[in-house]
Amino acid sequence: MEKRVVTDSMIGLELPNIDSWSERVTVVLGQNPGMFTGPGTNTYLVGTSTRPILVDTGEGNDKYMPFLRQAMEERGADGLQEIVLTHAHPDHNGGIDDVLKEYGPLNVTKKPWPEYDGGRELNVIDDEDVVTTEGATLQAVWTPGHAKDHLCYFIPEDNALITGDVVLGAGTTVIPPDGDLYDYIQSLHRLLDFGADTLYPAHGPCIRNAQEKIESYLAHRALREDQILEALKAGIELIPEMVKRIYSDVPEFLHAAAGMSVDAHLRKLLREERVSKKGDRWALT
């Protein structure tokens, strides 16, 4: 059987600190490279006025602010309209206080997730809400799965989607233990329906073949699901055993992350009543 659909990865990927991906979208790298963040979190200045929107803030480290300042200067901006967030993971919202210190006070706009929002006062938005600025419109698209509060943003002026952590510039998305792969796959279908040309991901390079990329993400998950069903059919009941079989081509230090992915698939199948679980042991129903 074919082993994998998505063959590229974030490992070793490098991107410029500041780059313009359209006349209204400039990306500023969050300066937090790592195993899961790739070259770091992409933060986006969106709009054509002197007060653009900042989408996501990075994790909050000293190296980021000079690049944000430089990007603002290069586009003739002297302030921000507001901060808009994709979701409440720390590599996206950890930099809020630094940005507020430099450019605040500002609205922080996101879909609430009280357990993760740290008590911060939010400008609440939800699915289909619209945030406008000069030269750009952000249409919120609720895309749970990676995170319960996740919003992507459709920018009709670019026929593009800011995809946050739902679709990445390389490799695939992690579905953490509090994520939901069933929801995630619905979210990918929803993004597909926009017919976007371009994706601006939260990690990795700009994606110019948007539909093909989203379809490859769906194919990747479908293949993994088939592999897991095959393993269950062969009587393999434990996740580490499934990982050994399915991820034989992946270095062992990544097996814990792979286990998380298998677990996400099994929870999806459980929700669909196609598998059962007793303790750590899984079986087909």
d(CA 123, CA 96): 14
Choices 5-13, 83-91, 124-132, 269-277 (CB under 5 A): range interacting with Zn ion? 83-91
Tokens of residue 104, six digits:
């605040």
Residue 237 burial by Cβ neighbours in a 10 Å radius (0-12, 13-18, 19+): middle
Q: Of the two residues 24 and 89, which places its CB atom closer to Zn ion in the complex?
A: 89
- Confirm or reject binding of residue 180 to Zn ion (CB under 5 A): no
- Confirm or reject binding of residue 110 to Zn ion (CB under 5 A): no
Residue with tokens 């943003």: 153
Contact 101, 65 (CB under 8 A): no
- Confirm or reject binding of residue 224 to Zn ion (CB under 5 A): no
Tokens of residue 136, six digits:
């750009």
Choices 41-49, 81-89, 216-224, 228-236 (CB under 5 A): range interacting with Zn ion? 81-89
Q: Of the two residues 165 and 183, which places its CB atom closer to Zn ion in the complex?
A: 165
CB of 279 to Zn ion, least distance (A): 30
Residue with tokens 């814990």: 256
Of 92, 57, 50, which is closest to residue 72 (Cα–Cα)? 50
With CB under 5 A, what is the number of residues at the site for Zn ion?
2
Q: What DSSP character marks residue 21? A: E
d(CA 104, CA 95): 13
CB of 9 to Zn ion, least distance (A): 17
Closest residue to Zn ion in the complex (CB): 89
Q: Of the two residues 37 and 109, which places its CB atom closer to Zn ion in the complex?
A: 37
Which residue of 32, 64, 88, 89 would you call a contact of Zn ion, by CB under 5 A?
A: 89
Tokens of residue 241, six digits:
């055993």
Task: Kindly identify the residues of this chain, within the stretch 159-178, that bind Zn ion according to CB under 5 A.
Answer: 165
Choices 22-30, 82-90, 255-263, 270-278 (CB under 5 A): range interacting with Zn ion? 82-90
What are the residues binding Zn ion (CB under 5 A)? 89, 165
